Copies of this chain bind each other. A is one copy, B any other.
């Protein structure tokens, strides 16, 4: 039986409440109620309401990575793997659109954090490795700079997903078409040779 620490309970509850209520309307009292702990206990683990944000961001980045790693099959073609990456990122964005918006906002709201980069580091590394391998295998154009391009790609795919799920109220057909266009766009950008 897995013992969930109070800190984790708080983070999980925070993700859920933020997801449902948005940043302004979420009260610490909501979070602790859902976490099943006392109001004061929150402050034993986090110095302030906003300081949960980085922890949430970390959780979200982990979700992205877990999904991507689960979805991507290295034995498939690069083109297919690219689709798999896009699908994974789209899926997480769809499910956690609100929290993601909050993170993007919350981090700038809160002063104490420019850890963004640090938080994303593992994801950037993974993507960078992916690109490096592909490049070594001659599957993508040789001029790709894996590190820089990894950041661009993640930013791009997430932005495309947000565009669809956050601001548009698109139908499934349109969603599918837009995703196709994105993948084609990426294939050309990376100069994929299957």
Task: List A residues at the B interface (Cβ < 8 Å).
Answer: 22-24, 97-98, 101-102, 104-109, 114, 116-117, 141, 143, 145, 148-149, 151-152, 155-156, 158-160, 162-163, 166-169, 177-178, 181-182, 184-186, 188-191
Interface contact B22-A108, CB-CB below 8 Å: yes
The 7 A-B residue pairs whose C-beta atoms are closest, nearest first, are A105-B105, A189-B189, A116-B167, A159-B159, A148-B181, A155-B159, A101-B108
Selected from B22, B98, B109, B188, the residue in CB contact (under 8 A) with A189 is B188
Report the nearest B residue to A162, measured CB to CB.
B155
Interface contact B109-A24, CB-CB below 8 Å: yes
How far is B11's CA from A59's CA once the two chains are assembled, in angstroms? 37
Interface contact A152-B160, CB-CB below 8 Å: yes
Inter-chain contacts of A156 with B (CB < 8 A): 152, 155-156, 159-160
Interface contact B108-A181, CB-CB below 8 Å: no
The contact sample of 12 A-B pairs, CB cut-off 8 A, is: A22-B108, A23-B105, A102-B108, A108-B166, A116-B166, A116-B167, A149-B185, A152-B181, A155-B159, A155-B160, A158-B159, A189-B189
Per DSSP, are chain A's interface residues mostly helix, strand or loop, or mixed? helix
How far is B101's CA from A163's CA once the two chains are assembled, in angstroms? 14
Inter-chain contacts of A159 with B (CB < 8 A): 155-156, 158-159
Inter-chain contacts of A143 with B (CB < 8 A): 184
How far is B177's CA from A149's CA once the two chains are assembled, in angstroms? 11
Interface contact A152-B182, CB-CB below 8 Å: yes
16 other A-B residue contacts (CB within 8 Å) besides A104-B105, A105-B108, A149-B185: A22-B108, A97-B108, A98-B108, A101-B105, A102-B105, A105-B109, A114-B168, A116-B166, A117-B168, A141-B188, A143-B184, A145-B181, A151-B163, A152-B181, A188-B189, A188-B191
